Amino acid sequence: MVPVEISARHIHLSQEDSDILFGKGYQLKQLKKLSQGADFAAEETVDIEVNEQEIRGIRVVGPSRAETQLELTFADSYKLKLDIPVRLSGNIAGTPGFRIIGRAGVVVKKEGLIIAKRHLHISPEEAEKYAMKKGDLISITCGELRKTTFHDVEVRVQAGFKFTAHIDVDEANACGLKVCGVGRLIL
């Protein structure tokens, strides 16, 4: 069994973009600690303009990263009438751009909009135990209301990763998972 967590749409910001959006040297305030490493949901939100439509109140996830990345869902892509590629976090080359409106400024990004590919976080030790390696695609069954098996869950191996699968809100809704739950690994 593996804990399954649900990611709502959110944005990661580079320090450079954060400086423009919130003011030079601005430090994000932690609202809630997240399961992986130092990740936290910040108190701050930003508004986004993409394909001439606006989405307000996108949650910032800290700490700052090398590159700004916006993670939306398929449901958002239908509403925006925009093709958004499914990518693993950090792989943003050639993805759509967007505009970010913060309380102190505006940033225009040429790329960085993805739908996050579902994935499993695992430490090197546990990966060895399960005979998994980075980039493996596994399946996870979850949801009691509408039991669903998700295939092509990409394995992400890194020291310090907490054994957890991440799916987005669309996927959680598909299987009737409301907050978070557990899934069964199919190896």
Would you tell me which residues interact with Zn ion (CB under 5 A)? 166
Shortest CB 31 distance to Zn ion, Å: 18
Cα dist from 34 to 50, 78, 133, 170, whole Å: 27, 28, 24, 20
The amino acid at residue 26 is Y
Cβ of residue 85: shortest distance to Zn ion, in angstroms?
A: 17
- CB-wise, 27 or 158, nearer to Zn ion? 158
Pairing of strands 137-142, 164-168: unpaired
Considering the complex, state which of residue 109 and residue 166 has its C-beta at the smaller distance from Zn ion. 166
Query: What residues contact residue 186 under an 8 Å CB cut-off, 6+ apart?
Result: 138, 139, 140, 141, 149
Nearer to Zn ion, 51 or 89 (CB): 89
CB of 36 to Zn ion, least distance (A): 6
> Nearest approach, Cβ of 166 to Zn ion (angstroms)?
4
Residue 114 CA to residue 96 CA, distance in Å, equals 8
| Smaller CB separation from Zn ion, 11 or 107 | 11
Ranked by CB distance to Zn ion, the top (closest) residue is 166
Strand partners, 150: 140
